[in-house]
């Protein structure tokens, strides 16, 4: 059967969006999700996004990483599907309910409240997630935050000097993180700006990570290194993140529809 899709991105973090409300999509398993996301033999994307009907929100958004694994949150994709929706959208995800409002060329999203308890990240055993007594070579004293998905955040002098292509997968797959983890390396440039690179769980180095920007901004605000709102500068561009302790995170930034197309479902078994 032919399946229609919309190719989108948020600051270069790219998505294939399948709308299961407009077509009868067969069940999607890990192998097929990875085959569609494959940049050599598939359509190619960092994450595959499936929109479904919801009893509790305007629609449900399901998120599959490049490796085919289903996860709970995707900040950049949330802005992208809000752009598609065209008006304020309440979005059900397995990481919680999100509320997104389109802006000129993008969207502003209430990403919900961050969680900090060790078993909410989750970690393998109890630990202070504000200042974790662990290190990997030059990366030390991280924090951990769950923003619908798990993030570990390291502050460094120069993000570009970190061999993230080597240390990222090592940390992502460390047994300390039973659900694996997204790895953020950040440089605080001033009280209003953070530079960030992310090794994404299940996707590797991406041009941008919305939940990574949220988690990093929250951790920097907790450590009193920056004020709120703060600009987070990723390789693909900038996001504005606002958060006060006890409240929810607001992420604002661009989203882009690249093109629309279709493919033969059975081509990706
Ligand atoms: N790029 C996304 C994050 C997608 C999921 C993440 N890799 C995970 O596995 O939790 C974003 O913009 O947040």
Q: Which residue from 77, 72, 71 is spatially nearest to 13, judged by alpha carbons?
A: 77
Q: What is the pTM of this model?
A: 0.98
**How many CB atoms sit inside 10 A of residue 236's CB?**
19
Looking at residue 264, what is its pLDDT?
A: 96
Which of 37, 184, 209 maximizes ligand 1 atoms within 8 Å of its Cβ, making it the mutation to test the pocket? 209
Kindly tell me if the per-residue pLDDT of 214 is higher than 90.
Answer: yes
Pocket of ligand 1 contains residue 71 by CB under 6 Å: yes
Distance (Å) of CA 15 to CA 47, 59, 144, 246, 248: 5, 17, 26, 32, 25
- Given the residues 74, 194, 214, 242, select the one marked as catalytic: 74
State yes or no: is 74 an active-site residue: yes
Ligand 1 center from residue 25 Cα (angstroms)? 23
The model's confidence at residue 269, banded by pLDDT at 50, 70 and 90, is confident
Compute the distance between CA of residue 263 and CA of residue 23 in angstroms, rounded to an integer: 13
Please name the residue whose Cα sits nearest to atom 2 of ligand 1. 74
Please name the residue whose Cα sits nearest to atom 4 of ligand 1. 74
Compute the distance between CA of residue 236 and CA of residue 238 in angstroms, rounded to an integer: 7
Which of 173, 201, 252, 254 maximizes ligand 1 atoms within 8 Å of its Cβ, making it the mutation to test the pocket? 201
Q: What would the two tokens of residue 209 be?
A: 């990570």
Looking at residue 159, what is its pLDDT?
A: 98
Q: Which residue from 12, 48, 9, 16 is spatially nearest to 31, judged by alpha carbons?
A: 48
pLDDT digits (tens, 9 = 90+) for 75-133: 999 999 999 999 999 999 999 999 999 999 899 999 999 999 999 999 999 999 999 99
Pocket of ligand 1 contains residue 184 by CB under 6 Å: no
Distance (Å) of CA 239 to CA 44, 60, 153, 154, 254: 24, 24, 17, 19, 8
The dihedral over CA atoms of 78, 109, 111, 35, expressed in degrees to the nearest 10, equals: 10
Please name the residue whose Cα sits nearest to atom 5 of ligand 1. 74
Ligand 1 center from residue 211 Cα (angstroms)? 6
Looking at residue 54, what is its pLDDT?
A: 98
pLDDT digits (tens, 9 = 90+) for 135-192: 999 999 999 999 999 999 999 999 999 999 999 999 999 999 999 999 999 999 999 9
Domains in the chain, ordered, with CATH? Answer: 2-111 (3.10.310.10), 118-254 (3.10.310.10)
Average pLDDT rounded to a whole number, residues 252-267: 97
Average pLDDT rounded to a whole number, residues 183-205: 98
Kindly report the average pLDDT of the chain as a whole number.
97
pLDDT digits (tens, 9 = 90+) for 99-112: 999 999 899 999 99
State yes or no: is 209 an active-site residue: yes
Looking at residue 213, what is its pLDDT?
A: 98
């Amino acid at each position: 059967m032919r399946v229609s899709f919309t190719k989108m991105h948020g600051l270069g973090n790219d998505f294939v969006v399948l709308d299961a409300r407009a077509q009868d999509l067969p069940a999607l398993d890990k192998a097929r999700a990875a085959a569609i996301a494959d940049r050599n033999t598939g359509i190619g994307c960092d994450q595959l996004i499936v929109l479904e009907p919801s009893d509790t929100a305007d629609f449900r958004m399901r998120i599959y990483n490049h490796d085919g694994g289903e996860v709970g949150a995707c900040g950049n994709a949330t802005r992208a599907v809000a752009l598609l929706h065209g008006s304020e959208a309440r979005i059900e995800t397995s990481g919680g309910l999100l509320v997104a409002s389109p802006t000129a060329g993008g969207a502003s999203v209430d990403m919900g409240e961050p969680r900090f308890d060790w078993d909410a990240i989750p970690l393998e055993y109890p630990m202070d997630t504000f200042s974790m007594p662990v290190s990997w070579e030059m990366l030390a004293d991280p924090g951990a935050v769950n923003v619908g998905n798990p993030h570990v955040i390291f502050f460094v002098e120069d993000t570009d000097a970190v061999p993230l292509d080597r240390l990222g997968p090592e940390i992502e797959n460390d047994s300390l993180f039973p659900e694996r983890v997204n790895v953020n390396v950040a440089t605080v440039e001033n009280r209003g700006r953070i530079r960030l690179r992310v090794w994404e769980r299940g996707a590797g180095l991406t041009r941008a990570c919305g939940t990574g920007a949220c988690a990093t901004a929250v951790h920097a605000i907790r450590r009193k290194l920056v004020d709120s709102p703060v600009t987070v500068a990723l390789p693909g561009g900038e996001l504005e993140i606002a958060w006060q302790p006890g409240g929810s995170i607001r992420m604002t930034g661009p989203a882009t529809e690249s093109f629309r197309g279709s493919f033969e479902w059975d081509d990706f078994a």
